[in-house]
Structure 1
């Protein structure tokens, strides 16, 4: 997996953890232990965000040089030794 894929996977797992913690907090309440776990999860979220910003290779690669194609028609002499594909030779009619 690439670094980007791994970080995306970590982010998904962290999102799942936060959802599960929310459900757990509704069931057992928001005591001191739950606040501590939530603070730890928030620190993890911040750390993953910082890691994503600083990870090498996550910047977009430079765009390759574009080749411009002119609008002017090609020289017909380029095609004198070839047949039109699917149409047969120029001096004969298609069946």
Structure 2
């Protein structure tokens, strides 16, 4: 799913939430502390999603890591004189 699709889904859910809160306000009234908090939280969520939607173009761009060039020249064999070939054992010994 793309960022745009996710934001659209969140927007639809927020619209459903707003409708539900409006129905609750009709049942409980708008004056109670609890109802005012629920309305304020719903409004804050709407504002936060709007800010996120404005920032979405910058967030949607995939970050490309810096490329590291690897030389085609062979490594110096003296780098490997003190190591064993992993999984093959030491050069001067036979496998069991």
TM (normalized to structure 1)?
Answer: 0.58
Matches within 5 A, 1:23-38: 23-30=23-30, 31-38=32-39
The equivalent residue for 2:10 is 10
Aligned-pair CA distance for 1:57: 5.9
Aligned-pair CA distance for 1:58: 8.0
Aligned-pair CA distance for 1:55: 1.3
Q: Which has the higher contact order (CA 8 A, sep 6+)?
A: 1
TM (normalized to structure 2)?
Answer: 0.57
Query: Which aligned runs of 4 or more in structure 1 are off by greater than 4 angstroms?
Result: none
In structure 1, list runs of 5 or more residues that go unmatched: 60-95
When the two structures are aligned, how many residues end up with a matched partner?
A: 59
Say which structure is richer in helix. 2
Q: Distance in 1 between matches of 2:20 and 2:12?
A: 12
Between 1:41-50 and 1:28-37, the stretch displaced more is 28-37
